[in-house]
Structure 1
Amino acid sequence: MTKTAPTQTAPRQGNALAASALDLTKTYGRGETVVTALDGVSVGIEAGRFTAIMGPSGSGKSTLMHLLAGLDTPTGGRTYLGEHELTSLSDAQLTRLRRQSVGFVFQAFNLLPTLTARQNIRLPLDLAGRTADAGWEQTVIEALGLGGRLDHRPGELSGGQQQRVALARALVTRPEVIFADEPTGALDSTTGAEVLALLRRSVDEWKQTVVMVTHDPSAAAVADRVLLLADGRIAGEIIDPDADAVLAGIRDLGKVA
């Protein structure tokens, strides 16, 4: 079922929030050239759930994700990661919090070509000065089917294998939230479906929180909840979506995905 709301949407009462935003605005430029990417957005991301963010090009979906993840600074409003207000932290504090609490998966994989798969997986731990939990690391590696590829460099791996390494890198720190920006955008449909299944498993089996930006209704249908953005505002949400419901939601915005 699609629920419409002009500027904000909230999780069901009683559910803890892994990330949230209050009256969030983001503008670029000044004067006559100003562009409003987000316009008074308030939203809560439920812990232990899979949330997808969808909307037409330029709707503000990637901007919202980047602000929730602490990768960008809002023009106005506040963002939180758990109980930490990101907008009150210094750059050094924000960097430490991201390393401890956030995992990232991008369309472009963002693996270092000179490092092996294992070294790429452990990179966020190395940057944070932490050692790997051997048992958890092995659980992730086995679940993602990377056991025979750990000594290979990215150039020796397929696109799907590279994205699995990127997902393992995001999971190995046991973050509070994984932010995934078009994680299947560079993959064929079969490999993309496998990556989505792994994200879904991380929520169902490992109680992870996942926030994913996507333009693909089939990918969004894997989520527990879809947030619909239009013109920098929350335009509605879909709970327990399927691909048809997502397509209908997009059409309700006056656009066709």
Structure 2
Amino acid sequence: MTSAPSTVGVQPAASAVDLVKTYGSGPTAVRALDGVSLEFGTGQFTAIMGPSGSGKSTLMHCLAGLDAATSGSVVLGGTDLTKLSDRQLTVLRRERVGFVFQAFNLMPTLTAEQNITLPLELAGRRPDADWLATLVDVLGLGDRLRHRPSELSGGQQQRVAIARALASRPDVVFADEPTGNLDSRTGAEVLSFLRQSVREFGQTVVMVTHDPVAASYADRVVLVADGRVVGEIDRPSAGAVLDAMRELGA
């Protein structure tokens, strides 16, 4: 099994400095992020949590280059996203960022294998056969590669999505409520795979979730409220996260 690389002395996989995101202007403007500064360590699994409307999804979207910051900076793998053109951002997302969504977002006409390698093909890159074989083995997809999404269960589709996100060995995998459409048992399997990608492959994962149990799989939980970071929990338990969310009124 591939071992996780050492992260001693390595720069953060992603960071935000005084990040501000405002929607609209004038008296009706909404300040979704209000001066957020955070670092996400290489080879670390971080969960972002907060009440509805707290800014947690906006934070992830800005970190991933899916939304532009109003001010402040976002650095991913040493690159300041706020200084990139739209075209450069598109290339960066394709080549250096992995995404896992609640709705899977698989192409229905492609097989599981084709879905996994699609981002690499769009980037004009040849898949690493050994790495793909490792992912397929770890995720238990060996007998599902020729199936289309409609022939797969929800859990299998999300495993395909995780393999797709990891196929390019991205700087960061961003997971947006990845277990939201899954039952608790299947959700636990998916979270275990994400946890395993951190432990065994040295992957960096940033996950937005509302579920304290899901958050307990992370190395730390970042708590967000009213567009600000209001706390962190290291080595979180589901109970500790639930208590913290109750204090936030979530």
> What range describes the TM-score normalised by the shorter chain of this pair?
over 0.9
2:91 maps to which residue? 96
Q: Per-residue displacement from partner, 1:123-181 (whole Å, max 9, x unpaired)?
A: 10011000110000010011101111111111111100000000000011111110000
Alpha-carbon distance between aligned partners in 2 of 1:122 and 1:132, rounded to the nearest angstrom: 7
Residue 118 of structure 1 deviates from its aligned partner by 0.6
Q: Per-residue displacement from partner, 1:27-78 (whole Å, max 9, x unpaired)?
A: 1112222111100111111110100000000000010001001111011111
1:139 maps to which residue? 134
**Residues 246 and 15 of structure 1: is their aligned pair in 2 closer, same or farther, counting only changes over 3 Å?**
farther
**Aligned-partner SS, 2:170:** coil
Q: Could you state the TM-score of these two structures normalised by the residue count of structure 2?
A: 0.95
**Equivalent position amino acid for 1:208 in 2:** Q
Is the aligned partner of 1:221 residue 2:216?
A: yes
1:183 maps to which residue? 178
Q: Could you state the TM-score of these two structures normalised by the residue count of structure 1?
A: 0.93
**Aligned-partner SS, 1:169:** helix
Is the aligned partner of 1:210 residue 2:200?
A: no
Q: Give structure 1 stretches of 5+ with no counterpart.
A: 1-12
Is the aligned partner of 1:76 residue 2:32?
A: no
**Aligned-partner SS, 2:13:** strand
2:22 maps to which residue? 27
Aligned length: 243
Residue 14 of structure 1 deviates from its aligned partner by 5.2
1:43 maps to which residue? 38
Is the aligned partner of 1:117 residue 2:119?
A: no
2:166 maps to which residue? 171
2:236 maps to which residue? 241
1:3 maps to which residue? none
1:155 maps to which residue? 150
**Aligned-partner SS, 1:237:** strand
**Equivalent position amino acid for 1:121 in 2:** I
1:197 maps to which residue? 192
**Aligned-partner SS, 1:59:** coil
Alpha-carbon distance between aligned partners in 1 of 2:42 and 2:61, rounded to the nearest angstrom: 18
Aligned alpha-carbon RMSD (Å): 1.1
Q: Per-residue displacement from partner, 1:9-30 (whole Å, max 9, x unpaired)?
A: xxxx956300001111111112
**Aligned-partner SS, 1:115:** coil
**Residues 15 and 236 of structure 1: is their aligned pair in 2 closer, same or farther, counting only changes over 3 Å?**
farther
Sequence identity (%): 68
**Equivalent position amino acid for 1:70 in 2:** G
Q: Per-residue displacement from partner, 1:75-103 (whole Å, max 9, x unpaired)?
A: 11110102100000111111112222110
**Equivalent position amino acid for 2:152 in 1:** L
Residue 251 of structure 1 deviates from its aligned partner by 2.1
Q: Per-residue displacement from partner, 1:174-215 (whole Å, max 9, x unpaired)?
A: 111100000000000000000000000000000000000000
Alpha-carbon distance between aligned partners in 2 of 1:226 and 1:71, rounded to the nearest angstrom: 22
**Equivalent position amino acid for 1:186 in 2:** N
Alpha-carbon distance between aligned partners in 1 of 2:84 and 2:153, rounded to the nearest angstrom: 39
**Equivalent position amino acid for 2:140 in 1:** G
Alpha-carbon distance between aligned partners in 2 of 1:77 and 1:148, rounded to the nearest angstrom: 46
Residue 107 of structure 1 deviates from its aligned partner by 0.1
**Aligned-partner SS, 1:26:** strand
Is the aligned partner of 1:52 residue 2:44?
A: no
